[in-house]
Structure 1
């Protein structure tokens, strides 16, 4: 029962890992898709304000940073190659273009990556999350 004395509404669980990851990537609760995961930029809530999912056990650690670095690198490397081969830019000009771009991309990917990692942990019932979905093939 919630604080108001009534039972929470039934939750529509995501149909697939991809749907749960998308919910987390967009900063929404992977369980209900309604509540916000984060109370601050990278600080997850202890529980979803809508479905009361306990998120206090999540352990994303450094994995979101690795994801952010991986994505930024794979997007920037082709841009660096094009800039170096097709344009006659000085090293300072390249640095002036690429460093702020890299910083913005790294920081921009960080929260969505953390939300997706939390959603993955919920989906697989890791780190204190209860596995709520039915096993594959058991849709009864």
Structure 2
């Protein structure tokens, strides 16, 4: 793991880049082009975001976690307050959508920043010389 001393000047820590959608190189808020879509490159420093393979890896994982948490809260609310069904629909549908979208932004941003700070790349086959 990288200590804060090992992070280059101007690079935000992984948690800050993930929470606020910051460029992992310069810290400018240019990581996302849409709700969960990365931009092609940073407008400030020119870092090519396309070279990182984040994909939609955190999507299923985050959706299941957020779903489980919100179901637990919804069941607790229903047991304690017993609101009408329409209150559940009005409350939980937009909250679930917002939580999933923000969770994806944070998850994808964390993976991108982590790959950048650790200089992750695809594995390459190395030919060994015969001794």
If the length of structure 2 is used for normalisation, what is the TM-score? 0.66
Between stretches 21-30 and 93-102, larger displacement belongs to: 93-102
What is the distance in 1 between the residues matched to 2:94 and 2:41?
Answer: 35
Cα distance, 1:37 vs structure 2: 1.2
Give me the CA root mean square deviation: 2.7
Seen in structure 2, the aligned counterparts of structure 1 residues 124 and 84 have a Cα distance that, compared at 3 Å, is same
Cα distance, 1:92 vs structure 2: 5.1
Seen in structure 2, the aligned counterparts of structure 1 residues 35 and 86 have a Cα distance that, compared at 3 Å, is closer
The aligned residue for residue 114 of structure 1 is 108
Q: How does 1:26-37 map to 2 (within 5 A)?
A: 26-37=20-31
The aligned residue for residue 12 of structure 1 is 9
Describe the superposition over 1:87-136 as per-residue Cα deviations: whole angstroms up to 9, x where unpaired. 223455434432232122212322232222211221222246xxxxxxxx
Runs (5+) with no aligned partner, structure 1: 1-10, 129-140
Seen in structure 2, the aligned counterparts of structure 1 residues 81 and 40 have a Cα distance that, compared at 3 Å, is closer
Match of 2:16 among 15, 19, 22: 22
The aligned residue for residue 99 of structure 2 is 105
The aligned residue for residue 59 of structure 1 is 53
CA contact (8 A) 1:34 1:50 kept: yes
User: Number of matched residues?
Assistant: 115
